[in-house]
Amino acid sequence: MRSRRIDIVDETFVDAAPALVRAQLDDDDWADRVWPHVRRQVARDRGLKGVRWKVTGQVDGEMEVWIEPWWNGAVVHHYVRGTRGPRAPRDVAVRHTLRWKRAVHGLKDRLEGKSM
């Protein structure tokens, strides 16, 4: 039997002020598009340092985006700790990671003034 445990760790440098990255986390429409497979409830609002949520749905546990100031930008850390929900696909961790990477790189491109 495969483990139901999910542990995701990711970090991406964004060459933009931490406050601009943080503002995106307050956009519920954006967050709902990034994480449609979980319901989020703020467990700890860390201001410019990010947000920690309790999550339920395809992942049950906690999720966090921590924004670390770095030079003229920020390292955006993303953590997920929990278990696969009862109706989640076996590859929910992979799907979550890919969805996050698309979202954070889209944010990076927009804030850095790049477009494809």
Average pLDDT in the chain:
94
Let me know how long the chain is.
116
pLDDT at 85 over 60: yes
5-111 has which fold?
Answer: Alpha-D-Glucose-1,6-Bisphosphate; Chain A, domain 4 (3.30.530)
Overall average pLDDT of the 84-98 stretch: 95
SS3 33: helix
DSSP H or E segment with residue 69: strand 59-70
Q: Which of 18, 65, 11, 5 is nearest to 40 (CA)?
A: 65
d(CA 64, CA 103): 15
The domain spans of the chain are 5-111
**More confident of the two residues 86 and 66:** 66
1 pLDDT higher than 90: no
Cα 66 off chain centre by: 9
Percent of the chain with pLDDT over 90: 92
pLDDT of amino acid 115: 58
